[in-house]
Amino acid sequence: MKAVNLFEPLGKKVTSEASDSALDSKLEYEPAFWGIRIVEKPTQKANPDEAWGPRSCHMGQLSDVGLTTLHHSGAFLRTLYAEKLKFIPQKPEGNLSDWLYIRTTDYSRVIQSTYALLTGLYPGYPKQQEKSTMGKYMWPAFGKEFLRQFPIHTRDIFKDPLNVISRGPDYLDMLKGITIEDTCKIKWLDDVYRQTIQIPSIGARAKELMHHTAPASNFHHLFDELMSSKAHGIPLPSGVSSEHMDNIHEASYFQWMAIPQTTKGQKMGYGELVSNIAQTMAQAASATDASTEDWPRIGSQRTHDLLVSHDGGLREPSGHEIPRVPRMALYGTHDVTIGSLATILGSTRKKWPMFGSLMTIELFKDTTTPLEEVQRNLPLPSTLEQQPPTTDGYFVRVQLDKEIIKLPTCQMQGKHHPKMGTGVCSLAAFYEHIESIVE
C-alpha cells in the first residue's frame, strides 16, 4: 500500500482512492480470494467475510512489494533452471506434475507467495488469463485455471513438517521452556539483556517482553517490534544504536536457531522434513535412467498432501493427481524453518533470513569426472524407503541466497567433488551428515 495508514481492517469497505498498484514497478495484481485461512478439514472453506477483494489489504497478506519480490524470485529461477541450464521446460505444457512438485504451508501469505513466484517462473500462464493494459502486466486471476495449470499442495498445519507448530509437544516444550534466567547464563546474552533494560526509552517495555517466556527467544518480540517500526519509517527509540539493534538481532537469531543444533532438537523438530527432502533426492537418483513414461510416482513423503482449491478450501488429491518424482520441488515455508534448516546443514550465519530468501538444495550427477578420489559405500540412513542403487557420481550443493553452505561432513578429502571443492558435497557424505537426524 502507498502508506501504512491505508490499511483497512476486515469488514470495512476500502475506498477506490486506496490504489494497490506497485509503486516501483509496472505490476498490478488481482490477489487470490481467500482470507487468513488455517483449516483442519479438507472440506472446510474460507470464511466469505474474510475474502480478498482487488483493493483489500488484510492482516497476514502480502503487500505489492512482497508480491513483486516473489515474482522476481520466480524470474530468477526461470533464468537459471529453464533458460540457462534447460533443467526444466521453458513452458509449463503437458502434465506439470510429471516434473514439478509445489507445496506450501497452509497460510494465506505463503500460498500467495508461491502464486507470485510461479507468475515469475512461467509468466503469461495460464494463457487464457494473460492480459495487458497500458503496458502493465496484469497478474493472472487465482482460480480454477491457475490451479489447473499449477497444482499447489499443502497440508493440515498439524501434519506439516514445514510448519513449526506441527513438530510435536516435546519440541514445542523445548521452544517454550527458555526462561530469562536460562538465557542470562550465557554471558554475551546476559550482556545484551542488561544493556537493553538500562536504556531509558525502552528499558521497562523491553524487560516486560524479555521476561515473558515465549517460543524460542526472549529477545524476538522486542526485535520484532523495533524492526517493524524501523521498516515503516519510525526512527529507533533514543539510546538504541544500530550496533545495539544488531546485538538484539543476533541474540534473537541465536536462540531461535540454536535449538536445532542439538541432535535431539534436530530429530524432534526437523527430522521428518530432512527425511522428506532426502527421500525425494534418493528417488530422483534411482529414476535417472527411466523413461518419462516409467518415471515413478512420488513416495510416502507426500502422505497427508491436500490440494488448494480455487474456492479457498482444500481437497484430497485423486489417484492420478499424485505427482511423479520431480525434477524440481518448490517448498513455500517460513523464516524459522529456512534458518533452522540452514543451521542444521552447517550454516554459520547470524542474521535472520530476509523475506523472499531462497534456499536451494541441488542434486548433481557428474558423468565426466573420474571419481576414484571420492569415498564410496558410506552408510545410508535406514529411514530412506527407496535408496539409489549407488551414490557414486552424485553430489549435493546447498545454498541460502548468496551463501554456499558447507556441510561439516563434506570438508574431508574424498567427501566432496575433486574439482569443485568443499561446497559440492558427495551424496554419500550428505547422507552421512543427516543420518543422525532422520533415523
pLDDT digits (tens, 9 = 90+) for 303-361: 899 998 766 677 888 888 889 999 999 999 999 899 999 999 999 888 888 888 999 99
pLDDT of residue 432 exceeding 70:
yes
* Residue 343: partners with Cβ closer than 8 Å, 6 or more residues away: 257, 258, 260, 261
% of the chain at pLDDT higher than 90: 35
* Residue 293, pLDDT score: 66
Return the SS3 of 343: helix
Half-sphere exposure in the Cβ direction for 287 (13 Å, CA): 23
| Residue from 34, 74, 98 nearest 309 by CA | 34
* Residue 121: partners with Cβ closer than 8 Å, 6 or more residues away: 74, 75, 77, 78, 82
The answer to whether residues 239 and 277 touch, using CB atoms and an 8 Å cutoff, is no
- Segment holding 263, helix H or strand E: helix 263-286
Q: Could you give the C-alpha distances from 389 to 99, 105, 284, 369, 394, in angstroms and in order?
A: 21, 32, 11, 19, 11
Average pLDDT value for residue range 86-108 = 89
**Positive or negative torsion for Cα 92, 94, 95, 98:** negative
Q: What is the dihedral of CA 340, 346, 348, 352, to 10 degrees?
A: -20
| pLDDT tier at 31, thresholds 50, 70, 90 | very low
* Residue 314, pLDDT score: 79
Q: What is the dihedral of CA 259, 162, 167, 257, to 10 degrees?
A: 10
The chain-wide mean pLDDT, for the chain, equals 79
Instruction: For residue 317, give the C-alpha cell.
Output: 488429491
- Distance between CA atoms of 35 and 26, rounded to whole angstroms? 25
- Distance between CA atoms of 381 and 431, rounded to whole angstroms? 7
* Residue 122: partners with Cβ closer than 8 Å, 6 or more residues away: 74, 78, 91, 92, 149, 150
Beta bridge partners of 324: 297
- Distance between CA atoms of 101 and 275, rounded to whole angstroms? 16
| Residue from 359, 380, 364, 379 nearest 417 by CA | 364
- Distance between CA atoms of 436 and 313, rounded to whole angstroms? 38
Ranges 7-16, 104-113, 409-418, most confident: 409-418
The answer to whether residues 103 and 332 touch, using CB atoms and an 8 Å cutoff, is yes
* Residue 77, pLDDT score: 93
| pLDDT tier at 286, thresholds 50, 70, 90 | confident
Q: 13-17, 44-48, 59-63: which has the minimum mean pLDDT? A: 13-17
pLDDT of residue 102 exceeding 60:
yes
Q: Could you give the C-alpha distances from 78 to 125, 152, 264, in angstroms and in order?
A: 13, 18, 38
- Distance between CA atoms of 349 and 140, rounded to whole angstroms? 37
pLDDT of residue 245 exceeding 90:
yes
| pLDDT tier at 438, thresholds 50, 70, 90 | confident
- Distance between CA atoms of 246 and 254, rounded to whole angstroms? 12
| pLDDT tier at 292, thresholds 50, 70, 90 | low
Query: What is the value of pTM for the model shown?
Result: 0.82
pLDDT of residue 23 exceeding 70:
no
pLDDT of residue 24 exceeding 90:
no
Average pLDDT value for residue range 215-232 = 85
Q: Could you give the C-alpha distances from 23 to 67, 68, 232, in angstroms and in order?
A: 12, 10, 16
Q: 84-93, 157-166, 401-410: which has the minimum mean pLDDT? A: 157-166
* Residue 439, pLDDT score: 67
The answer to whether residues 244 and 195 touch, using CB atoms and an 8 Å cutoff, is yes
Which has more confidence, 357 or 19?
357
Peptide bond into 379 cis (omega under 30): no
Instruction: For residue 213, give the C-alpha cell.
Output: 517466556
What is the topology classification, in CATH, of domain 262-287+325-438?
A: Rossmann fold (3.40.50)
The distance of Cα 422 from the centroid of its chain, to the nearest Å, equals 25
- Distance between CA atoms of 223 and 246, rounded to whole angstroms? 9
Phi, psi of 48 (to 5 degrees): -60, -25
| pLDDT tier at 100, thresholds 50, 70, 90 | very high
What is the residue extent of each domain of the chain? 4-93+108-140, 173-259, 262-287+325-438
Phi, psi of 426 (to 5 degrees): -65, 145
* Residue 80, pLDDT score: 92
Which has more confidence, 182 or 383?
182
Average pLDDT value for residue range 210-219 = 80
% of the chain at pLDDT higher than 70: 77
| Residue from 435, 433, 380, 377 nearest 408 by CA | 433
pLDDT of residue 299 exceeding 90:
no
Beta bridge partners of 174: none
Phi, psi of 325 (to 5 degrees): -55, 125
The answer to whether residues 257 and 346 touch, using CB atoms and an 8 Å cutoff, is no
